[in-house]
Amino acid sequence: MSEPLRILVVEDEALILMQIEMMLEEAGHRVVGTAVTAREAIALIPETRPELVLIDLRLGDGSSGIDVAHAVRDLGGITAAFMTANARAIPEDMEGATAVIAKPFSDTVLGASLAYLKDCVRRPPPGAEVPSGMRVAPNWLASFAEMRA
Amino acid sequence: MEQPDAWHQTDRLDAEQGKGDPFAAAVRATRMAMIITNPRLHDNPIVFANDAFLRMSGYDRSEVLGRNCRFLQGEHTDRGSVALIREAVEARTDIAIDVLNYQKDGTPFWNALYLSPVVNEAGEVLFFFASQLDVTDRIDAHLRVQQEKDHFEAEVARRTRDLTEALATQTMLVHEVDHRVKNNLQMIAALLSMQTRAITDPAARTAMEAMLTRVEALGTVHRRLYQSNNVERFDVAEFARDLATDLVRGSGTDRIRLHLDLEAVEIPVSKAPPVALMMNELITNALKHAFPDDRAGRLSVTVAPDDTYFTIRIADDGVGMPVQVMEHRSFGKRLIGTLCRQLSASIAWQANDPGTVVNVRLPREMAGSLEAS
């Protein structure tokens, strides 16, 4: 694997957070920070300079992952993806995020999703098909198609 | 004071109806208020009023004779009723109607009016005859009953609203419980998954992974329950869609195509966990054994109602199950057997040529339960 992705994980359930961290590290990526609330995540972004932010929808203190997605979109230059068991609650345009990964996910699904997102970050457009269990925002799909053309 | 020709008018009445007619005397003396109007005179005035009418209306005879009856109407008299009476007069027909009238001093009373034309042999209308009865007590009683009925209906509506709200609260609480149970199952799954990473022994790892999918299947049951509007019924078809999709996705290969043929089947919520666990065993079995060495193939999951039963069918076009495996009493097979016993289900494993097909037939309701139809 080439240079590992710098990833910020935003997830309010400590055990799930720990599990995702383990999965990411085993897949050869680098978790540069973890946050359990939207406020914590937004504060950590400039400090940790992630390339990819993985965001749970329901966060601690009743905050929402959508706010984190907005902050990422406003900063620009960083890729965001939701991870949620309730993918239907994510608006169609995904609020600036690139994709939604459906929970629960296996190692294989997470691996394929991360490979796809790594292409999005490092050398868009991604070469692979969108992995099953993952949905990509329509505006991103359109811009990938434009790049390929 | 009484007009002198008042008696003359009634004399004429007597004359036309026949002299010495005892009926005329009866009309004068009866306790039923009665008047006669003459439509051949301008504005159809009253030409006769008996004493009962004067008592009821509070007017003197001189104040009513020669006048149209509309002086009885007042502020709250229904215009529609008045129009009906006018139409009846114009059409020369009779009418019976309850109308709100007013006495001379302004006291309102309900008047059960009966009006009918009096026709001579030539078919001409000579008079209108009207009898009046003060039915204020009856109408008041009717209105009181109506008010009580309205009050009762409002009370029923209020209680229904309370009960609906109570039910919504209960549903919300049950959903909250399902949500928490799902979260706890997800935590158990996370713990199992992390623990599994540290295990190097392949057999132990496989066992842990099997446990993980079982916990996740139960988690999916509770996720479906808290997303459902009905806290008592569980849709097997929708669950099968979620479970099969998750399992095929989690199998780590893109080479297995999932085919779903699902018809809604609702079962009591208490049956959901064993049904879910059994489906999980059958689908993971197929995924594990049917497609070795990254073999491509098709897995089909069918849920269909069958009278008071329903069937679950899991079919693959893989390598087929060797007889040894089919007879092997693994933990998974024992689990399936136990769950079938709990659900009073029958199960059949058959060769699918190629592949394997498993048919499970289950009663929809609990054996001996009140819900059994």
Per-residue pLDDT averaged across A87-108, rounded? 82
Contact B249 A104 (CB under 8 A): no
Task: State how far residue A106 is from chain B, nearest Cα, in angstroms.
Answer: 5
pLDDT of residue B326: 59
Tokens found for residue A125: 């457009």
Which pLDDT tens digit goes with each residue over B46-86? 999 999 999 999 999 999 999 999 999 999 999 999 999 99
Average pLDDT, whole number, for chain A?
88
Check pLDDT > 70 for residue B2: no
Q: Which residues of A touch B248 (CB under 8 A)?
A: 132
Tokens found for residue B286: 């197929």
Check pLDDT > 80 for residue B151: yes
B270-279 burial, b for 16+ CB within 10 Å, e for fewer? Answer: ebbbbbbbbb
Which pLDDT tens digit goes with each residue over B85-126? 999 999 999 999 999 999 999 999 999 999 999 988 888 898
Please name the helix (run of DSSP H) or strand (run of DSSP E) that holds residue B85, with its range, or none: helix B79-91
Which pLDDT tens digit goes with each residue over B157-188? 999 999 999 988 988 888 888 888 888 888 89
Tokens found for residue B46: 């009253």
Q: Which residues of B touch A19 (CB under 8 A)?
A: 190, 193-194
- CATH of region B232-373: 3.30.565.10
Is 0.90 surpassed by the pTM of this model? no
- Which residues, other chains included, contact B21 with Cβ-Cβ below 8 Å and sequence gap of 6+? B14
B278 close to B272: Cβ distance less than 8 angstroms? no
Per-residue pLDDT averaged across B223-243, rounded? 87
pLDDT of residue B4: 44
Nearest CB partner across the interface for A108, out of B183, B186, B250: B250
Chain B residues contacting A, CB < 8 Å? 183, 186-187, 189-191, 193-194, 197, 216, 219, 223, 246, 248-254
- The percentage of chain B sitting over the pLDDT mark of 70, rounded to a whole number, equals 90
Contact A109 B191 (CB under 8 A): no
Contact A108 B251 (CB under 8 A): yes
Minimal Cα distance from B183: which residue of A? A13
Q: Which residues of A touch B223 (CB under 8 A)?
A: 85
Per-residue pLDDT averaged across A93-114, rounded? 83
Check pLDDT > 50 for residue B3: no
pLDDT of residue B183: 82
pLDDT of residue B223: 83
Going from N- to C-terminal start, the domains of chain A cover: 6-148
B41 close to B47: Cβ distance less than 8 angstroms? yes
Most A CBs within 10 A among B180, B181, B186, hence the mutation to make, goes to: B186
Q: Which residues of B touch A132 (CB under 8 A)?
A: 248-249, 254
ipTM for the complex shown: 0.72
Per-residue pLDDT averaged across A130-134, rounded? 78
| Residue A36 vs residues A45, A48, A135, B234: alpha-carbon distances, Å | 13, 15, 24, 33
Instruction: Please give the CATH topology (third level) of the domain spanning A6-148.
Output: Rossmann fold (3.40.50)
Which pLDDT tens digit goes with each residue over A25-55? 988 899 999 999 999 999 999 999 999 999 9
B183 close to A13: Cβ distance less than 8 angstroms? yes
- CATH of region B5-134: 3.30.450.20
Q: Which residues of B touch A26 (CB under 8 A)?
A: 197
Minimal Cα distance from B253: which residue of A? A108
Nearest one of B78, B77, B111, B113 to B95, comparing CA atoms: B113
B245/A127: higher pLDDT: B245
Going from N- to C-terminal start, the domains of chain B cover: 5-134, 232-373
Q: How many angstroms separate the CA atoms of B172 and B192, rounded?
A: 30
Side-chain half-sphere CA neighbours of B79 within 13 A: 1
Contact A109 B250 (CB under 8 A): yes
Task: State how far residue A12 is from chain B, nearest Cα, in angstroms.
Answer: 12
Nearest CB partner across the interface for A22, out of B197, B251, B252: B197
Average pLDDT, whole number, for chain B?
86
Q: Fill in the DSSP letter of residue B76.
A: T
